Structure formats: structure tokens, C-alpha cells
Amino acid sequence: MTLPSLLTYPDFRLRVVAEPVTAFDDGLVTLANDLVAAVVAAPAIGLAASHIGVLRRVIAVRPSEAEAVRVYVNPVIAWASAETMINEEGSVSMPGVSAEIERPRAVRVGYSDLQGISCVEEAEGFHAAVLQHEIDQLDGVFWIVRLSRLKRERVIKRYQKLGSPSASFATLPPRDFPIHS
């Protein structure tokens, strides 16, 4: 199997809202296998299908080094705690830079498995942050948009100094992100 290529910032597809999966077929299984292989090869903690240029609502997440990569189809945050935490975040689509992001400490995520069976998962701590990060990506919210304008500009400058492509998100205004409950 050939590994899929990862998009790099500032590719516009990283800001596109992914379409829901409606067909639970061999094509979905192939996409899931590609995502899992990309997570392992990157190595990454999680990836959204949009990271490989497929604008479908599928993520692959490795909850811990000891656990297998899990696939979530059409994931949605059904509940988020009022208590927050701060984690260092980055992206395989913007390698070499990271920043602190504040997110809810716990979430409940509704999703389907590869057969279309509805599931619910509750997550806390770092795993909750990873799920939120990847679901944000499906919603077209690249992680740096969650930073203040000043911090976002600093991250982009650091990324550019690494020899990465010119950036175009620097001028985006900050957005409010409602917590789904």
C-alpha cells in the first residue's frame, strides 16, 4: 500500500468543512486503512481525513502508545465539560511548531464505526484534547485559528523560518467557538 501524502499548511483544504460519510462500504474501509497507516507512519497521535486531502468526516486517533489506532466516522462532540485544561498542540500539516491551546477537560463524542453502528465515547485529559483537535479539523478549523492573533502570527513566523511555505492564515480574525452540548 502506498501511503497517502499529508497536506501542509497553508493548503486551503485544511480550512474546508468535511462532508458526512453516507456510504459505509469498501471505499470507507480503504480510507480508514489509509488514515491508520498515515497515523503510524507520521508518527502522529491523530489525523483527520482532510489531512490527506479527503474531505470526509473520518478521523483516526491513537489513544495511547500501547493502544491500537481507532477510527471514528462522523464524530461529533455531544457534550463538553465546563472545566478546561491547556495542552501543547501542533499538526503534522504544520510540522516543527506548537503552542498551548485551552480546551474542555472532558468530552462525550458520538460517532459511527466502519459498519455504521452508532457509538459513544467519553474521554478526559489529553485524549479528549486530541479528539477535539481532530473534530475541529473536520469542521475546517485548523488548530492555529484557536490562538490569539499575536500568538498565531508568532507560530506562523516560526514555521516560515523552518523553510515552510508562506502563510495565509495570519490575517484571519479570531473566532468564537461554541461548545456543543
Lowest mean pLDDT among 5-9, 96-100, 105-109, 173-177: 173-177
pLDDT in tens, 128-166: 999 999 999 999 999 999 999 999 999 999 999 988 654
Q: Is 177 inside any structural domain?
A: no
State the Cα–Cα distance between residues 145 and 153, nearest whole angstrom: 10
- 38-79 confidence digits (pLDDT tens): 999 888 899 999 999 999 999 999 988 888 999 999 999 999
Q: Is residue 91 part of a domain?
A: yes
Question: Is residue 179 domain-resident?
Answer: no
Q: Given strand 118-124, what is the order of strands in its sheet?
A: 46-48, 58-61, 70-80, 106-112, 118-124
Catalytic residue among 67, 83, 134, 153: 134
C-alpha span between 78 and 56 (Å, rounded)? 19
Higher per-residue confidence, 174 vs 52: 52
Phi/psi at 105 (5° precision): -70, -30
Q: Domains in the chain: how many in total?
A: 1
- Domain-embedded: residue 171: no
Three-class SS of 5-22: CCCCCCCHHHHCCCECCC
- Tell me if 5 is assigned to some domain: no
What CATH number has the domain bearing residue 50?
3.90.45.10
For residue 89, indicate whether it is catalytic.
Answer: no
Report if residue 93 sits inside a domain.
yes
Q: pTM of the predicted model, to two decimals?
A: 0.88
Cα separations in angstroms, 19 against 40, 50, 113, 156: 24, 10, 16, 28
Report yes or no on 173 lying in a domain. no
Which residue in 6, 14, 8 sits closest to 141, CA to CA? 14
Over residues 84-103, the mean pLDDT reads 96
Residue 32 lies in a domain: yes
User: Residue 100 belongs to what domain range?
Assistant: 12-161
